[in-house]
A and B are shown apart, each in its own frame.
Chain A
Amino acid sequence: MKEIKTNMAGNVWKVQVAPGDKVELGQEVVILESMKMEIPIAAESAGTVEEIKVEEGSFVNEEDVLIVLKG
């Protein structure tokens, strides 16, 4: 189990993966919007998306878990 966290507070603008998707290291999985800027969040390791913890439009704080990967 690996967690993809945000290092910044902001709104979730786009979730670019779905449960079951395979992601690669460095792949952009979520785009946040903070202070009128798009902030891409990338996977820090490869894996399969097990759970998406956020929805588009929701607000996240620094260190919140966005996506859980397995494998």
Chain B
Amino acid sequence: MIKKILIANRGEIAVRIIKTCKQMNIKTVAVYSEADKDSLHVQLADEAHFLGGSRVTESYLNGEKILDAANAGNVDAIHPGYGLLSENADFAEKVRQEGYLFIGPSTSVIQKMGNKIAARKAMEDAGVSVIPGITLSDTEESTVKKAARVLGYPVMVKAAAGGGGIGMQKVEDEGDLMKVVSSVVKKSETFFGSGEIYVEKFIESPRHIEAQIAADRVGNVVCLGERDCSVQRRNQKILEEAPSIFLSDNGRKKLFEAAVHAGKTIEYTNVGTVEFLVDGEEQIYFLEMNTRLQVEHPVTEETTGIDLVQWQIDLANGKDIPSLERNNNQSNHAMEARIYAEDPTTFFPSPGKLIEWEFPEMEGIRYDFGVEKGATVTPFYDPMIGKVIAYGSSRKAVMDKLLMCLEMANVEGIKTNIPMLINTLKHPTFQNGEATTDFVKNLI
């Protein structure tokens, strides 16, 4: 049984994990960098261990330092959160070799789903439809051009090791192809240490809809619902909701079945997300699988009454799905707005000190924040500093509540995307549930 967990993360997700650990009477160990020494997650954990310098390579991406902290803190398990080392198979394996429980799926599943080409192959083998695409044997002009011609323009050039919206670019016609290929290869080598790429058919104006699954060690896989995450900027999500008002009952059934089938086929364990693109005719295409807790997990929690972090810990402890607890605070609809420290129109980062950070107390509003008034948002980490989640009995009520909450918010000292979130929530396209992944581009 897990009694003490090290959280190998920072910001709002570290705070979120601590909250559930406290409810489960599990002790927590936070880790932190120089820039994060006064952070909320450090204050809230039972213990905190210093890792090193502010840069991620000196701290949160340094597996050895994290394992030293786990040793010093005498923990049983490591929760990786999202981003950082959460989908790093080598780290998961080292954690296990050192005798700790890694709260997540097996190392081999992390490895397989982490490489987009291997993940596509696994899904194709499982009979789950994937976006038509071609793996490149090399990046010679003739090879790439042939692949793009076979698929037909426009195409997407993607990094095999990519993720988080980095390492993918659309190509309209052959004239731009090689320029984009060299840029994606270069970026992928810099960010992911691998220049391996592939080409996919571009799906016009799709919706991004993902399925939350949970799986135990005896082969039970359940789907806990979908999240529509079509509102994105720079291929990163900003507003997510459940249920999706676009999906028909039949479309939803198809999506859930594909996700559960995918989970069973790859022998998934713990909590994970299968992401799909869904076109106007409700054709679903596997996009990628995230073998970890998702940023937007609260949307599922607020529609199902399930604490997904608790499920992660219980599943890591070896419990099976039928024995897991569900609360009864189910609501019909939930919507999450991500707050980014950035200019609302250029999306350029906006680090600085939070002179004001005030949000109203409201029924049916949940805040998952990693910062508080007076905190400094540094340039070292992701600009996502908190999430506002609204939930209730109807989509309209939830949308109105979220809008009211964001309009009443008072944030000073840095720029945030709150004005952009407000514009989105007021926009007829969004209100009518017609937003596709092109929405933000058309809004600006």
The interface of chain A, by Cβ under 8 A from chain B, is 8-11, 34-37, 39
Secondary structure at the B interface, as helix, strand, loop or mixed, is loop
A8 to B380, CA, bound (A): 12
Could you pull out 13 A-B pairs where Cβ atoms are within 8 angstroms? A8-B348, A11-B379, A34-B349, A34-B351, A34-B379, A35-B341, A35-B342, A35-B380, A35-B383, A36-B164, A36-B381, A37-B347, A39-B349
- The answer, among B341, B348, B378, for a CB contact under 8 Å with A39, is B348
**Choice from A8, A10, A36 contacting B382 with Cβ under 8 Å:** A36
Using Cβ atoms and an 8 Å threshold, which residues of chain B touch A9? 351, 378-379
The size class of the interface chain B forms with chain A is: 10 to 19
Q: Collect the chain A residues with CB atoms within 8 Å of residue B342's CB.
A: 35
B55 proximal to A (CB < 8 A)? yes
Residues of B within 8 A of A39 (CB): 348-349
Instruction: Indicate which residue in B164, B378, B379 contacts A8 across the interface (CB closer than 8 Å).
Output: B379
- Whether A37 pairs with B349 at a CB distance below 8 angstroms is yes
Apart from A8-B349, A35-B342, A36-B164: 8 A-B pairs, beta carbons within 8 A: A8-B379, A9-B351, A9-B378, A9-B379, A11-B55, A35-B341, A35-B379, A37-B349
- Chain A residue with minimal CB distance to B384? A35
Q: How many A-B residue pairs have CB under 8 A?
A: 34
Q: Which residues of B contact A (CB under 8 A)?
A: 55, 164, 166, 341-342, 347-349, 351, 378-383
Chain B nearest CB from A33 CB (Å) reads 9
How far, in whole Å, are A11 and B164 apart by their CA atoms in the complex?
A: 20
Give the distance to chain A from B214, nearest Cβ to Cβ, in Å: 29
- Report the minimal beta-carbon distance from B355 to chain A, rounded to whole angstroms: 16
> Which residues on B sit within 8 Å (CB–CB) of A36?
164, 166, 381-383
A9 to B382, CA, bound (A): 14
For B166, the closest partner residue in chain A by CB is A36
Q: Which residues of A are found within 8 Å of B349, using beta-carbon distances?
A: 8, 10, 34-35, 37, 39
Chain A nearest CB, measured from B292 CB (Å): 17
Are B381's CB and A35's CB within 8 A?
A: yes
**Distance, CA A34 to CA B379, complexed state (A):** 5
Closest A residue to B341 by beta carbon equals A35
Are A35 and B382 in contact (CB-based, < 8 A)? yes
Chain A residue contacts of B383, Cβ below 8 A: 35-37
- B11 to chain A: closest CB distance in Å? 12
CB-CB under 8 A from B351, the residues of chain A are 8-9, 34-35
- Closest chain-A Cβ to B435's Cβ sits at a distance in Å of 23
Of B55, B341, B349, B379, the most chain A CB neighbours within 10 A belong to B379
CA distance A35 to B349 in the complex (A): 6
Closest 3 CB pairs of A and B: A35-B349, A35-B383, A34-B379
